Structure 1
């Protein structure tokens, strides 16, 4: 999931260089959402691994 967040962040950077603000903003939003979800899943995974 971190990989997809990085991919969307790179897409947002490249597209913003070409002047497509709408697509860049949408890609940035997807990158942020995926990054937050990945961090939450990583934290839950670390906590649940300690319980077993």
Structure 2
């Protein structure tokens, strides 16, 4: 489950990077925020899976 969230994080980070390079600041910021949320969720799930 955490692996799929990491792939979502990577896709959103790439979208944010490309949007920032093209000048779409709103899309880049939104994608970066969603990428941060996906990364935090993936790390939390990974730690919980490791503990249990």
**Common fold by TM > 0.5:** yes
Shift in Å at residue 9 of structure 1? 0.2
Q: Deviations over 1:18-41 (max 9, x none)?
A: 100000000000000000000000
- Specify every segment of 5 or more residues in structure 2 that has no aligned partner in the other structure, as ranges: none
Equivalent residue pairs, number? 48
Query: Pairwise CA RMSD of aligned residues?
Result: 0.3
* Higher RCO by CA contacts (8 Å cutoff, separation 6 or greater): 2
Q: 2:6 pairs with 2, 25, 29, which one?
A: 2
Residue 23 of structure 2 corresponds to which residue in structure 1?
A: 19
TM-score norm. by structure 2 comes to 0.91
What is the correspondence of 1:33-48 to structure 2 with a 5 Å cutoff?
Answer: 33-48=37-52
**The structure with more radius of gyration:** 1
